[in-house]
Amino acid sequence: MARTRSSSSKWRFCNPSYYLKRPKRLAFLLVTFVCVSLLVWDRQTLLREHEDELAKLNSEVVRLRSLIEEVNDKPQNTIAEVHVEAKKEVDDPIDAERREKVKEAMIHAWSSYEKYAWGQDELQPQTKGGINSFGGLGATLIDSLDTLYIMGLDEQFQKAKEWVAKSLDFNKNYDASVFETTIRVVGGLLSAYDLSGDKVFLDKARDIADRLLPAWDTPSGIPYNFINLVNGRPHNPSWTGGFSILADAGTEQLEFISLSQRTGDPKYQQKVENVISQLSKSFPDDGLLPIYIDPTEGKASHATITFGAMGDSFYEYLLKVWIQGNKTSAVKHYREMWEKSMEGLSSLVRKSTPSSFTYICEKSGDSLTDKMDELACFAPGMIALGSSGYDSEDSKKFLTLAEELAWTCYNFYQTTPTKLAGENYFFHSGEDMSVGTSWNIMRPETVESMFYLWRLTGNKTYKEWGWNIFQAFEKNSRVESGYVGLKDVNTGVKDNMMQSFFLAETLKYLYLLFSPTSVIPLDEWVFNTEAHPLRIVPRNEEGGYPERSDEKRKPYIRLRSRKEGRSD
């Protein structure tokens, strides 16, 4: 071992030549004793140095163990950056920079809502006021809870939680959409509970779900689409001719099954699973159902078949309930119905000329319409998510279809002057696509598919597409007091509404697109149609659960649709 210059001088006494000129034996013996003593002292010093180093290492081990225990046990105050620090080696610096830009956009949107529309359903940024478009249930606030949590915006999350605990009141004389209230409010509260472990969210979710339950009290069990939150009287809107809407009736399964899992009360799950049982009795061979369902007989009517508005999320939930149920035999029929529907979807697929954009037609009777909603751009992500459940040949076929559809959806954005998509598109021979309804209300479906395809393929192209879409939102939709949609994607004229799903879905999917895959991993979480992640709970083959889920939960460690929007 090398020694320092300052310590080497003492060893000159141990050099034999030093004593050749000093014959006195006593002096030699004394110096020999000194040398031996120095050897012993030096060895002890080295041992002490090693002991010091070992002590430092042991101290560091204890500190790290303490930090891990603190992260596991601490409630929602744990900041998002903890997860980033743990994953530095895989966190691309460009991704990190883009993620921070999306986070800043969320802060801008949220602080504007907080300043001008706190506790109301949605913000009107241009006039700097709020509007209760969902009966005054705090839709934007509840929709944003999990986004705030995942992004590590702890101060904002805590303030929102306090409002939920003290001010959220469902006792309102208001005819609520069962679908919208389920995906935004029930889903948002359950996700906040799963992420934070705070029981106030579960209690509130149960309160609103109990108020919605009478909607399922029909002869067939197919729910009515609206219900008064005070008197519990359900009904369907007159413009449907008394029919229930397919997407509205078939998009409560994830939330209500989750609620039964977490409370131990089976009534919620029984209501929503009965809907699928009824529909399965007359489920067609192609798996395609029209958008109107008779709540008395439980049968489909003769109406439009679409993967866009009023049809979309029914098909999404067939797949996701299978995932939520751990892909066990208890939920096998969901997967079987979904695979039939994917064969039906394939029969609606066409390619445009001259550019061969792949798109999904709508069907009415035996005729097809070459029209595709931006809402249908959830389909690439859904198909990619379900492709792994097929054998290798079909898996490749459906993943290719997902990628082709995603390219079309991306071009919905790229082909307009503002680089933002219109509400729907028509396809004409020799002309490819043209905008139909030209507004944009900051929908999430295309970036949702970018997120899934990135997670499932690792292809960074989807990140670039998502970033381009985000930049278009920043350029065209950002205003002084939040974000607004466009009345026309060709002219860029702005509207006066910040839809709650922009915070719940669009910004969340963009943030996750630039986050490591360990943030809300797809084998542990399933997203509802409003992008609220719900924990996948172990489920046995008989359909039961090994343990009740209303126990105290550890918070999730974070990285640090509708859907029926309006154009006003």
Task: Report percent pLDDT > 90 for the chain.
Answer: 78
Both tokens of residue 195?
A: 């992420």
Identified catalytic residue from 122, 180, 198, 432: 180
pLDDT score for 538: 84
480 vs 70, higher pLDDT? 480
The annotated binding site is made up of: 529
Identified catalytic residue from 252, 255, 403, 423: 423
114 belongs to the catalytic site: no
Both tokens of residue 379?
A: 């389909």
Digit-coded pLDDT (tens) for 207-239? 999 999 999 999 999 999 999 999 999 999 999
pLDDT score for 76: 40
Span 453-471, average pLDDT: 98
Identified catalytic residue from 91, 248, 255, 312: 312
Task: Give the closest residue to 163 by CA, choosing from 136, 187, 183.
Answer: 136
Span 485-511, average pLDDT: 98
pLDDT score for 256: 98
312 belongs to the catalytic site: yes
Tracing tokens 């999404």 back to the chain, one arrives at 316
Residue 188, CA distances (Å) to 182, 191, 201, 205, 227 in order? 9, 5, 9, 9, 19
pLDDT score for 109: 98
DSSP for 511-550, please give it.
HHHTS-TTSS-TTTEEE-TTS-EEEPPP--TTS--SS-S-
DSSP for 149-197, please give it.
HHTT-HHHHHHHHHHHHHH-------EEEHHHIIIIIIHHHHHHHHHH-
Flag whether pLDDT at 556 surpasses 80: no
Flag whether pLDDT at 39 surpasses 60: no
Eight-class DSSP state of 219 = S
Digit-coded pLDDT (tens) for 408-432? 999 999 999 999 999 999 999 999 9
391 belongs to the catalytic site: no
Peptide bond into 354 cis (omega under 30): yes
Both tokens of residue 328?
A: 């066990």
User: For residues 236 and 225, is the Cβ–Cβ distance under 8 A?
Assistant: yes
Tally Cβ neighbours within 10 Å of residue 547.
10
Digit-coded pLDDT (tens) for 266-279? 999 999 999 999 99
124 vs 89, higher pLDDT? 124
Q: Which residues of 502-527 are buried (b: 16+ CB within 10 A; e: fewer)?
A: bbbbbbbbbbbbbbbeebbebeebbb
pLDDT score for 542: 61
pLDDT score for 67: 46
Digit-coded pLDDT (tens) for 390-400? 999 999 999 99
**What would you measure as the largest C-alpha separation in the chain, in angstroms?**
123
Digit-coded pLDDT (tens) for 376-388? 999 999 999 999 9
Flag whether pLDDT at 155 surpasses 80: yes
Amino acid identity, residue 161? K
Identified catalytic residue from 445, 448, 488, 530: 445
The annotated binding site for Ca(2+) is made up of: 529
User: For residues 87 and 518, is the Cβ–Cβ distance under 8 A?
Assistant: yes
Q: What is the pTM of this model?
A: 0.83
488 belongs to the catalytic site: no
Span 367-377, average pLDDT: 98
Both tokens of residue 286?
A: 């192609």
One of 3.60.70.12, 3.40.50.410, 1.10.3720.10, 1.50.10.10 is the CATH number of 97-535, namely 1.50.10.10
